Amino acid sequence: MERKKRNKTIKVGDSHLTQLLFSILFIAIFLLVMYVFTIFNTRGATNISFDPENNYFDAGNKYDESAIFINDEWFFIPNLRTENVRSYMSPEDYLENYTYASHVTVTENGWNYLGDKVKWNNVDPDEGISLSTFMNSGMSMVSGAYIANIRVNYSINTLYLDLGKVNGHAYVFCNGYLVGNTGDSTSFKVLPKYLGGYTPTAVQSKNNSIQLIIVFYANEQTSNPGLNSTPALFYESQNNLFTTIPAAFIAVLGVFTLFAITGGYLLRKTLSDPSSYVFFAFMSICILCYTLTNGNFYSLASPYRSVLEFFFLITGMVLSYWFIATLFTKYRAELGSKYGNLDCIIVSCAGIMLLSLAILDSRLLNTTFISTSTLIFVMTLSVLNILKILMFYMSAPNATIGLCASISIFFIFVNILITSNILTNCPLYAIYYLIAILSLVVYFVQRYIFQFTELRHSSEHLKNVVEEKTEHISMINRDLYNTNKRLLENEEARKNVMSNVSHDLRTPITAIRGYSELLLQSGPNLSEEQRTVYLQNIVKRSQQMERIVSDIVEISKMESSGFEFEFMDISLNELLDELYMLYSSDMRNGSKKIVLDIPDDDLLIVKADPKRISRVFENLISNAINYTGEEALIEIKAWREGSDLPFSEQRIHITVKDDGIGIPPDEIPHIFDRFYRAKNSGKNIKGTGLGLSIVKMIIERHDAEISVESSLGEGSTFHVIMKPTY
């Protein structure tokens, strides 16, 4: 069988090209972050002038401006210890009595390298000049002091000195007095002062001068003792910012690491090789632990710190190599690879060998062994990861994520080796790590959203078929449901009518029966006047029954689903005027008065059922007349609210006010209930207890509102608020 040749030419739309383009975009993002980071989070060079004649820096008028960075022109005195510092001595006194180096530049190598411009003073010309000449190596703890004299503006009172990254333990003296200490410790501590990583020290000016003496102690195993980054002087607002940012950053870093580990645990079963999660989780923990160790977020002796950093770095790199390899376990098995994870085992052995050398021979900690071996190890593994994917795994399902993960690991671990001279204790590699974690989260979210979309599309056809088959049944069910609902409503209405009739008709029927029996039994013994009174009471009770039956029938009709209101545009202005004319004529001979207050230039048009809405105001006016004394004033008022607002926000407000007996406060919430009458309404006042219930139902069907205000013995005011038509 002739084997077809595979076309390896990459074309537009090819998945290989897409993966490469995506990887290039990923690299561009990392480079952009590096550029922005370099601009905003790097300690600048010296930005204040130095007076070589008087040996002091002149801060000038830098009050409330940018931070003051002092990178060069320091003085360094070997073997100067804290007990040698005196409050009455000025920097010039030390320079006269000690051998010292001038024109010192702060470098990441500490006092092992004091810069190219360094010059030794108070030295015998015949004596060889080198740092080792002056350092007293016979003591268990070597020491040295950095000295700077800064002239400041008279308005500056307190500044905050941030030494940045240091090796050894530093004691800060300002104007001869100890004001703080920072750096390594002989014991492990996690204290609030270390939560920001770097520990700023407050320094105060005296006679417009800040005389700094920074005494360092370090043992012989401390690598690069002394200042490793440019010291900075911050103002109070800047100090608060630069001490808060690192604490917040490490909290965010920890939260995202926990989130990634937790999310990975939940998704581990969906991975082609679940062991990928294990290596990813421990790699993330190593990066987080390295950040805490390297960033001085807890106090630790320098040799132990170096060992821990080296351990987390090498272990994290080995785990990352395993993580990338496990992404392609299934694909490698499909290709029939004979070597399996042999390369991962070799890498692990190399990492164990490096760690063993550092632990067994502590002298290597104070050499270039750690930095050199780490750089070679990181570069080698990163290049191997990327080459493996490009050469063997580009057709694998996880090629894109593997390539991006390799690029991320490369940037993270390479930048781990470049962490000095940063402004805030937020290293670039940790920012890269956050970007990688976020990208990984976005990738998996996008991946599972895509899978969910595919599943939804595949089930859409089945859903349509089921909907077609069940549509007829659904229509039948809806018809049955609506029919049953109407039957239940009619049955409920019937029960309510029977209950209401039996409740309220019992009293007038009993009265009619009683008067009728008296008429029959007494016969001629009754006087004509008594007979007339009994017959009048029978007529009144009959009228009461008629009103009750009429109200109950009307409520039942309105509750029925088939009852419809006939809405049309009507003028409340005209309707209230007609009612006013009707009731004022009835009250013409009495002492009660009714007044009407309606606008002359506004018809107050609303959409309503004329008969029903007229019934509302008839009931309210009748109640006002019935529940007032012999001399009373009933006021009817209507107006348009919010005439200057948009039409949709305008309302028609109608009030019916009386000065009658009022309603007890505890009974106001119940006055719209059926058959409810206030206790102070009296037996001689006509009423069924259904009038206000009918009013409430009509108002609700008009999408309007009704409320009442009342004071016992002072009267009541009913408010009706409706929406205008125009």
Q: What is the pLDDT of residue 688?
A: 59
**Pairing mode of beta strands 209-219, 141-151:** antiparallel
Q: What is the pLDDT of residue 12?
A: 36
CATH topology of domain 49-234: Jelly Rolls (2.60.120)
At 4, list the tokens. 């077809």
The whole-angstrom separation of Cα 380 and Cα 347 is 10
| End-to-end Cα spacing for the chain | 89
Burial degree of 425 (CB within 10 A; 0-12, 13-18, 19+): buried
279 three-class SS: helix
pTM for this model (two decimals) = 0.56
At 549, list the tokens. 């039956």
**Pairing mode of beta strands 705-711, 715-722:** antiparallel
Closest CA to 105 of 228, 233, 232, 224: 228
Each residue's pLDDT tens digit, 649-695: 899 999 999 988 888 888 888 888 766 666 666 544 555 567 788 88
Do 708 and 719 meet the contact criterion of CB atoms below 8 Å apart? yes
The whole-angstrom separation of Cα 212 and Cα 149 is 6
Domains of the chain, residue spans:
15-41+245-449, 49-234, 505-564, 565-722
At 124, list the tokens. 């015998």
Q: Could you say which DSSP state residue 635 is in?
A: E
Closest CA to 502 of 455, 552, 459: 552
Which amino acid does the sequence have at 83? E
Q: What is the pLDDT of residue 684?
A: 46
Mean pLDDT of each 10-residue bin along the chain, 726 residues long: 38 58 80 83 77 83 69 91 88 88 90 89 66 59 90 77 86 91 67 59 86 88 85 81 82 86 79 82 90 80 80 91 86 68 88 86 71 84 85 79 83 79 83 82 75 75 74 76 71 58 68 79 78 79 72 68 79 91 77 89 90 88 84 91 87 92 85 70 57 86 91 90 90
Q: What is the pLDDT of residue 129?
A: 59
The whole-angstrom separation of Cα 552 and Cα 674 is 10
What's the gap between Cα 371 and its chain centre? Answer: 41
The whole-angstrom separation of Cα 212 and Cα 233 is 11
- 252-256: long-range contacts at Cβ-Cβ below 8 A with a sequence spacing of 24 or more? 252/434, 253/288, 253/291, 253/430, 253/433, 253/434, 254/288, 256/434, 256/437, 256/438
What's the gap between Cα 578 and its chain centre? Answer: 61
CATH, domain 565-722, list 3.30.460.20, 3.30.565.10, 3.40.50.720, 2.160.20.10: 3.30.565.10
SS3 content of the chain, % helix, strand, coil (to 5): 55, 15, 30
The whole-angstrom separation of Cα 219 and Cα 168 is 8
Q: What is the pLDDT of residue 3?
A: 39
17 three-class SS: helix
Asked whether this chain's domains 49-234 and 565-722 adopt the same fold, the reply is no
The whole-angstrom separation of Cα 378 and Cα 383 is 9
Closest CA to 671 of 641, 707, 645: 707
The whole-angstrom separation of Cα 697 and Cα 555 is 8
- What does the CA dihedral 169, 175, 177, 181 come to, rounded to 10 degrees? -20
At 724, list the tokens. 């205008």
Q: Could you say which DSSP state residue 724 is in?
A: B
Tell me how crowded residue 658 is: count the other CB atoms within 10 A of its CB: 27
Q: How distant, in Å, are the alpha carbons of 151, 515, 543 from that of 531?
A: 121, 9, 18
The whole-angstrom separation of Cα 283 and Cα 280 is 5
Q: What is the pLDDT of residue 500?
A: 56
At 29, list the tokens. 């993002």
510 three-class SS: helix
Tell me how crowded residue 649 is: count the other CB atoms within 10 A of its CB: 10
At 424, list the tokens. 């805030």
Q: What is the pLDDT of residue 254?
A: 87
Do 658 and 633 meet the contact criterion of CB atoms below 8 Å apart? yes
Q: What is the pLDDT of residue 704?
A: 92
Query: Strand pairing partners for 706?
Result: 720
Q: What is the pLDDT of residue 721?
A: 94
Query: Strand pairing partners for 180?
Result: 172
**Pairing mode of beta strands 169-174, 166-167:** unpaired
